[in-house]
Amino acid sequence: MIYPKNLEKGYYIGVTATSSGFTSEPDLRRLDNSIENFKKHGYPVIITDNVKTDCKGRSSDGISRAKQLMQLFDDDRVRVIIAASGGDFLVEMLPHIDFELLASKAKWFQGFSDNTGLTFTITTNLDIATVYSYNFGSFGMEPWHSSLEDNLKLLEGHDILLQSHDRYQNGYRERITGLEPIMPDADVKWININPKGIIEDEAIMLHGRIIGGCLDVLLNLIGTRYDKTAEFVDKYKDEKIIWYLESYSLGSAALIRGLWQLREAGWFEHAAGFIFGRPAMYNEEYDINYTEAVLSVLGDLDKPIILEADIGHKPPQISIINGAIAHISSYGGKGNICFERR
């Protein structure tokens, strides 16, 4: 596994809009404050032309998005590239990316949600670690949440213990100023499902090479030329694979079908276990709750499963290093994760 060079003072953070861009006043104010916040931490920022444009959910066409991403990879001043935001159409840029350039100029790429199309693909295709965590706009909040500080420490090369938080924000809040912080309103409680079932007082310890992302996007990658997942999990079969997964808008039927498809495609061969983030939106079709949906597909694999972890769309989130060796502990509704870069 290749780990890009750490973020160091004097190097730039590059920002590009891999999917949607910013055009509203609150979002532009949030963007400007993100830039200022990184400057205060000693890191100048470069943004590509498409960051401040958006039309029909796209910052620009797929060719332009790929070109602007590659410009940042080719810029030796840039050590880290963070996606401006999420969206729906990142996959349109994949055919126009020179993956040989990305391999020769290995850099940290970070984003989540729709950016799974790059975080997952870069790691499984090129054996280069990526970071599944906040998009750039989140760094414009005031004040910064501690999880943002942790995210920056990971990019700087610090190996720290990332712990679950006490509370999370259950749902979206309208932005008025653009600087709104995370507003926790629900208690964090990780749910452990051992092969014997849900046992509140029994810990789960997972060790293995971690990979995953947003299920909504992963399902679009299956069977494409960018799907090198079977080869990836086979390469690291001796270390076993921890899958982290979270969903944006999959209801029970789509979640069941999606997990079934991943399983049948061989993605879950050599799995050590699974950790699921809190779903952003979930519709209980057929009166099937999230736990029932997951267990209906994964239950007979006899692997530990953790649900409701601090990963993904309901902040705060724990930053995940795709491709790293992860050590995960979950007990009593709380948990922690640390990574080995080998």
Mean pLDDT of 276-295: 97
Residue 199's pLDDT is 67
Residue 248 lies in a domain: yes
Do residues 149 and 200 both lie within one domain?
no
Q: Is residue 7 part of a domain?
A: no
What is the span of the domain harbouring residue 190?
163-340
Residue 2 domain flag:
no
Residue 197 has pLDDT above 90, yes or no: no
pLDDT over 90 percentage in the chain: 96
- Predicted confidence at residue 109, as pLDDT, reads 99
Report, as an integer, the average pLDDT of 137-153: 98
Please check whether residues 335 and 223 belong to one and the same domain: yes
Domain endpoint, select from 100, 126, 160: 160
pTM for this model (two decimals): 0.97
Mean pLDDT of 284-303: 96
85-89, 126-130, 199-203, 207-211: least confident range: 199-203
Cis previous bond, 195, omega within 30: no
**Is there a contact between 125 and 1 (Cβ–Cβ < 8 Å)?**
no
Q: How far apart are CA 233 and CA 240, in angstroms?
A: 8
DSSP string, 297-341: HHGGG---EEEEES-SSSSS---EEETSEEEEEEETTEEEEEEE-
**pLDDT value of residue 202:** 86
- Give yes or no: residues 68 and 204 share one domain: no
Which alpha helices (H) appear in the chain, and where do they start and end? 25-40, 62-73, 99-104, 116-126, 146-155, 215-221, 229-235, 252-264, 290-298
Percent of the residues in the chain that have a pLDDT greater than 70, as a whole number:
99
- One-letter amino acid at 255 equals L
Residue 4 lies in a domain: no
Q: With respect to residue 61, please indicate whether it lies within any of the assigned structural domains.
A: yes
* pLDDT tens digit sequence for 204-249: 999 999 999 999 999 999 999 999 999 999 999 999 999 999 999 9
Question: Considering the domain boundaries, does residue 267 fall inside one?
Answer: yes
The number of folded domains in the chain is 2
For the chain, what is the mean pLDDT? 97
* 224-229-230 Cα angle (round to 5): 105
